[in-house]
Amino acid sequence: MEQATKKWIMSKIIWLNVVSVSIDLLNYLLTNPMFPTKYAGLVSMAVGILTIILRSKSTTVLTR
């Protein structure tokens, strides 16, 4: 049985991580952060948990 494939651009995991890095970078660079610094760890933890959940449910192989 052949395994399902999809283009990498369609990966929710990749986009979740792109958004996460963008939020962290903007929060670091902005004079007035988007959210309080004390919550930065919680946001990173939430992204990690979402990544684990998405990866555990994913069965498709990414292609170029």
Distance separating alpha carbons of residues 61 and 29, to the nearest angstrom: 35
Rounded Cα distance between 15 and 18, Å, is: 5
- Residue percentage of the chain with pLDDT more than 90: 0
Range of the domain at 21: 10-63
d(CA 7, CA 60): 10
Report the Cα–Cα distance between both ends of the chain, in Å, rounded: 21
Hunting for tokens 């990690």 — which residue is that?
48
38 part of a folded domain: yes
In a domain, 2, yes or no: no
Average pLDDT over every residue of 6-33: 82
Does residue 4 sit within a domain? no
- Bridge partners (DSSP) listed for residue 53: none
- Tell me if 3 is assigned to some domain: no
Q: How many domains does the chain have?
A: 1
- Whether 5 maps to a domain, the answer reads no
Q: What global pTM score does this model have?
A: 0.64
d(CA 23, CA 57): 25
- With a pLDDT cut of 70, the percent of the chain lying above it is 98
